[in-house]
Amino acid sequence: MKIFADENMPLVREFFADVGEVTLFNGRTATASELAEADILLVRSVTQVDEPLLAKNTRLRFVGTATIGMDHIDLAYLGKRNIAFSSAPGCNAQSVVEYVLSSLWCLAERYQWQLSNKTVGIVGVGSIGSRLAAALTAMQIPVLLCDPLRAEQQSDFVHTDFTSLCQQADIISFHTPLVKAGSYPTKHLLNSECLARLKPSCAVINASRGAVIDNAALLAAQQIQRRPLVLDVWEQEPDILLPLLPYCDIATAHIAGHSVEGKARGTEMLYQRCCQLLGIAPTVTLSQLLPVPAVEKLQISANFGLPDVQSVARMLYDVQRDDALFRHHIEGKGFDWLRKSYPARREFSALQLVGQATPAWLGQLGFNSQ
């Protein structure tokens, strides 16, 4: 069995050693000839999997993407060729939530906000959006939720339509897939018209897909009146609209989901799916492979409260580190270098908070407490 995997997929050899022979490739530059012999193709978000890429391969049985997003996969074409497919739903949802929380804490410090006085509009309330809503609610921060598809399916879902959310939110955070057609497209969901509807001070956070915001319209709006802005994703990565950078409070290279756990879970999910497809029993689990975190346990007292969470979270992750890396290296080394050389970052759950009375809401933020 020949397995071809993106070179930026962690632990792929460890997981797949017993399944077949693993060959690594550059996901950004992969060609049809390079992948012609693959039985199993494992990609990340940077590889367009479509007819031109698979035209020379007649033996492919399975394509897996170790990501949540699937906008780089031509599902109709895979279906036509009868090639099985899997993504890794939810694999790095917690990582994205931690990125957004860290961004909110950073903006709150910079602009001296009391976050509990701000209403956060969450657009797209699936794995990431709903976890984020739970975390913010635990922190007593009001939220508005916008997800028309959920509203259609779930009568008890409290939906705020996008136009009203734009008018009411103090902070708006995008967590939709990139959808180009259908009843609820998200391409350029935030366009010049919607930007004009936002409160002038409304902060914008995008850690979904770059094209959910019209980047040229965003730049034009920022040049007229600057609002707080956090961008993890950009249109046309890796050749992004660099003039936007001075107008960002936080700018990063599509790494919101790049926690150690988030990336590794993606690989594990594809491994499990492959084993199922091939009828073999999985022998490797993520817990066997994850490195021991630098700090494993922290004793907290009965005085531990909401204001202390930020200090503990900062031990594990501060988005300002990634923003500094981005500003320093983007012009010299580029977008993909920043992603490839991303420093290890553990999720909140890697740190066990122990104490007599650990508050229940710590779990809502993703901490491991007992």
Ligand X SMILES: O=C(O)C(=O)[C@H](O)COP(=O)(O)O
Burial of 42 (0-12, 13-18, 19+ CB in 10 A): buried
Q: Which of 35, 38, 68, 172 binds ligand X (CB under 6 A)?
A: 68
Q: Collapsing DSSP states into helix, strand and coil, what is residue 304?
A: coil
Instruction: State which residue has the least CB distance to ligand NAI.
Output: 126
The answer on whether 45 is annotated among ligand-binding residues is yes
The answer on whether 257 is annotated among ligand-binding residues is yes
The first and second tokens of residue 81, run together, are: 């060729």
The answer on whether 176 is annotated among ligand-binding residues is yes
Query: Which of positions 73-102 make contact with ligand X (CB under 6 A)?
Result: 92
Contact 300, 311 (CB under 8 A): no
Q: Which of the stretches 46-54, 118-126, 214-222, 350-358 binds ligand NAI when contact is defined by CB under 6 A?
A: 118-126
Helical H segments across 172-290, by residue range:
192-197, 215-224, 260-278, 286-289
Contact 29, 50 (CB under 8 A): no
Q: Which is nearer to ligand X, 41 or 202 (CB)?
A: 41
Q: Which of 39, 74, 98, 232 binds ligand NAI (CB under 6 A)?
A: 232
Choose the one of ligand NAI, ligand X, none that binds residue 44, judging by a C-beta under 5 to 8 angstroms depending on kind: ligand X
The first and second tokens of residue 244, run together, are: 């936007």
The answer on whether 273 is annotated among ligand-binding residues is no
Residues with a catalytic annotation lie at: 209, 237, 254
The answer on whether 192 is annotated among ligand-binding residues is no
Q: In the beta sheet, which residues pair with residue 4?
A: 23, 41
Distance CA 264, CA 195 (A): 36
The first and second tokens of residue 225, run together, are: 């009146």
Query: Which of positions 249-268 make contact with ligand X (CB under 6 A)?
Result: 254, 257
The first and second tokens of residue 236, run together, are: 């046309």
Strands (E), the chain: 2-6, 21-25, 40-43, 62-65, 84-86, 120-123, 143-146, 171-174, 203-206, 229-231, 250-251, 297-299, 352-354, 368-369
Least separation in angstroms between CB 357 and ligand NAI: 32
- Assess 67 for contact with ligand X (CB under 6 A): yes
Q: What is the maximum alpha-carbon separation in the chain?
A: 63
- Assess 128 for contact with ligand X (CB under 6 A): no
- Assess 176 for contact with ligand X (CB under 6 A): no
Strands of the 297-299 sheet, one edge to the other = 297-299, 352-354, 368-369
- Assess 126 for contact with ligand X (CB under 6 A): no
Q: Which of 1, 61, 126, 191 binds ligand NAI (CB under 6 A)?
A: 126
Choose the one of ligand NAI, ligand X, none that binds residue 175, judging by a C-beta under 5 to 8 angstroms depending on kind: ligand NAI
Contact 175, 189 (CB under 8 A): no
Least separation in angstroms between CB 113 and ligand X: 28
Q: Which of the stretches 146-154, 163-171, 239-247, 267-275 binds ligand NAI when contact is defined by CB under 6 A?
A: 146-154
Q: Which is nearer to ligand X, 67 or 215 (CB)?
A: 67
Alpha carbons within 13 A on the beta-carbon side of 269: 22
Q: Collapsing DSSP states into helix, strand and coil, what is residue 56?
A: coil
The answer on whether 65 is annotated among ligand-binding residues is no
Distance CA 181, CA 161 (A): 19
Site string for ligand X, 24-53 (x = CB under 6 A): --------------------xxx-------
The answer on whether 160 is annotated among ligand-binding residues is no
Q: Which of the stretches 19-27, 136-144, 169-177, 357-365 binds ligand NAI when contact is defined by CB under 6 A?
A: 169-177
- Assess 98 for contact with ligand NAI (CB under 6 A): no
Using CB under 6 A, list all residues that contact ligand X. Answer: 8, 44-46, 67-69, 92, 254, 257
Residues within the annotated binding site for substrate?
A: 45, 67
Using CB under 6 A, list all residues that contact ligand NAI. Answer: 68-69, 90, 92-93, 96, 123-129, 146-150, 175-179, 184, 186, 207-209, 232-233, 254, 256-257
